[in-house]
Amino acid sequence: TLPFGLHDVQGDGNAIDQARLTLDNALSQRLRVQTRQLGVSAASLLHLAFAQMLGRLSGRDQVVFGTVL
């Protein structure tokens, strides 16, 4: 939210919008191959991509975000 200037995010979550994107089979397979080669989980690879995106959007070298395990 901060990269978009949203500082006050109090609420119960009812107004949250979700977006879903289904990956095609070819991309899913490439992700599985990459994670196996790197010895990491798909979640780890996607968290890395998300962190890179947040860094670029916010213009920062270090970002922090939370996730549910």
Residue 38 counted as domain residue: yes
Model confidence, pTM: 0.68
Residue 53 counted as domain residue: yes
How far apart CA 52 and CA 1 sit, in angstroms, is: 15
Range of the domain at 63: 22-69
pLDDT value, residue 1: 66
Domain count within the chain: 1
Over residues 14-24, the pLDDT tens digits come to: 777 888 999 99
Could you tell me how many helices (H) and strands (E) the chain has, helices first? 2, 0
